Chain A
Amino acid sequence: DIVMTQSPDSLAVSLGERATISCKSSQSVLFSNNKNYLAWYQQKPGQAPKLLIYWASTRESGVPDRFSGSGSGTDFTLTISSLQAEDVAVYYCQQYYSTHYSFGQGTKLEIK
C-alpha cells in the first residue's frame, strides 16, 4: 500500500502570512496520463472533510484562490498564500492512484 506522510504535524502561522504543508508518498502517484492522483482536504472541528484540491493542483469550485497545490511524483505541497482566521483546520493529503486509497496523518494549522 502507498504510505502518505505529511509534515509538519502541526503548524502555527500569523494572520496574513503564508502556510506551507508538505505531503510525500512512498511511491509515485503520477499516472501515464501525466496526472498526479493526489488530493487535499480541509477538516474543521466537528465537520466533515471538504475537498480543496485534486489532481495535485486543481482547485475545487468555490475554494478561495489563496489555496494552491503543487508538486509531482512523490512530493507535494499545499500552500495558503495569506492565512485567514477561517483557515484554522486540519489538512489531509490523499492518494487515489492505487485501488487502496490512503490519507496522510494530517497537519493541524493554527493561528500564531
Chain B
Amino acid sequence: EVRLVESGGDLVQPGGSLRLSCAASGFTFSSYSMNWVRQAPGKGLEWIAYIGSGPTYYAGSVEGRFTISRDNGKSELYLHMSSLRADDTAVYYCAREGLGSYSEYWGQGILVTVSS
C-alpha cells in the first residue's frame, strides 16, 4: 500500500524558516517524481514544487525561497521553506506522480501557520 506521511508543520514567525518532510512507503521511492501542493485556508489547490531525477521546478510564488529535495535512501521528500510570509499559511501536501505527471497518491497534509 502506498503511504505518504507529512511532518514538520508548525507555527512560525514571518521571515522564519521551516523544513517539511514526507515519509514514503509501499513503493520504490527513487522511481517516482514527487510534488508539493499547498492549500491556503478556504482556498483552492496550488502546485508549488516538483522533483524527479533531474531538474526541479517551482511556482513563481515560492521560487528562490523554497527548495525541494529528496533522500532516496531514506524514502523521504523534503521542502525547505525560508523567508516565510503570512500568505504561505496553508496545508501542505506531498504527492506522488503516476505513470504520467498527474498526482496519483497524496499524503494527508500538514499545516504550516506563519504568524507573529
Interface residues of A (CB under 8 A from B): 1, 35, 37, 39, 41, 43, 48-51, 54-55, 60, 90, 92, 94, 96, 99-106
Could you list 7 examples of A-B contacts with CB < 8 Å? A1-B60, A35-B100, A39-B102, A55-B100, A96-B101, A101-B50, A104-B44
Cβ-closest chain A residue relative to B104: A51
Cβ-closest chain B residue relative to A51: B104
How many chain B residues touch the partner (CB < 8 A)? 23
Main secondary structure of the interface of A (DSSP, over half): loop
Given the known interface contacts A48-B93, A103-B44, the answer about A37 and B106 at a Cβ–Cβ threshold of 8 Å is: no
Contacting A51 at CB < 8 Å: which of B55, B102, B109?
B102
* A106 with B44: CB separation less than 8 A: yes
A43, A48, A49: residue with the most chain B Cβ atoms closer than 10 Å: A48
Given the known interface contacts A49-B93, A101-B35, the answer about A54 and B102 at a Cβ–Cβ threshold of 8 Å is: yes
Q: Which of B41-72 contact A (CB under 8 A)?
A: 44-47, 50, 55, 57, 59-60
* A92 with B45: CB separation less than 8 A: yes
Contacting A94 at CB < 8 Å: which of B47, B59, B105?
B47
- Quote the shortest CB–CB distance from B58 to chain A (angstroms): 8
Contacting B103 at CB < 8 Å: which of A35, A39, A104, A105?
A39
B45, B50, B102: residue with the most chain A Cβ atoms closer than 10 Å: B102
Given the known interface contacts A101-B50, A102-B47, A103-B44, the answer about A48 and B100 at a Cβ–Cβ threshold of 8 Å is: no
* A37 with B109: CB separation less than 8 A: no
Chain A residues in 8 Å Cβ range of B47: 94, 100-103
